[in-house]
């Protein structure tokens, strides 16, 4: 992995990082770019950037880091992401939209969406107050 840092200018703040990944085992190289707020030091892969704002909740940073794991075997699945603590507020029966209305149905999964999910994962995913949104589960 190689990274090029281009200083922001004009209304941009921070650094634009252009990174080339891939190119191994016959796969094409891909170039991605993103904005980093500031350089925070040196790491084993080179320059370490603070990509998130310092007020970003630690749960959000943890979730994104799990989703962006380079190795598919280390990356969390979509359902594992859904049970991450970052989304706990959505499982709270008292959570409301900013306008005071209740949340729309969030747990009305289709059987094929939950195929292969363990009972432990399902228990974390679907809160007790929303079990009626998935009647096919038979809880």
Q: What confidence tens digit (pLDDT) does each residue in 69-124 have?
A: 778 888 899 999 999 999 999 999 999 999 999 999 999 999 999 999 999 999 99
Question: What pTM was computed for the model?
Answer: 0.63
CB 91 within 8 A of CB 74: no
pLDDT at 137 over 60: yes
**Number of folded domains in the chain?**
2
CA–CA gap between residue 113 and residue 134 (Å, rounded) = 11
* 30 domain-assigned: yes
| For the chain, percent of residues with pLDDT exceeding 90 | 42
Mean pLDDT of 57-63: 85
Residues 93 and 131 in one domain: yes
* 65 domain-assigned: no
Give me the domain span that covers residue 76. Answer: 72-139
CA–CA gap between residue 23 and residue 2 (Å, rounded) = 12
| R_g over Cα of the chain | 20
SS3 74: coil
* 35 domain-assigned: yes
Residues 28 and 78 in one domain: no
Residues 79 and 138 in one domain: yes
* 67 domain-assigned: no
């Amino acid at each position: 992995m190689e990274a090029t840092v281009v200083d922001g200018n004009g209304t941009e703040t921070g650094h634009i990082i252009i990174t080339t990944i891939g190119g191994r085992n016959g796969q094409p190289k891909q170039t991605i770019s993103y904005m980093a707020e500031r350089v925070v030091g040196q790491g084993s892969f080179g320059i370490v950037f603070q990509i998130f704002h310092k007020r970003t909740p630690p749960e959000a940073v943890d979730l994104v880091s799990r989703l962006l794991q380079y190795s598919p075997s280390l990356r969390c699945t979509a359902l594992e992401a859904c049970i991450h603590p970052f989304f706990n507020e959505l499982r709270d029966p008292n959570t409301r939209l900013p306008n005071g209305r209740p949340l729309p149905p969030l747990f009305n999964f289709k059987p094929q969406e939950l195929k292969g999910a363990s009972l432990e994962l399902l228990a974390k995913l679907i809160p007790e107050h929303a079990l009626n949104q998935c009647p096919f589960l038979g809880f």
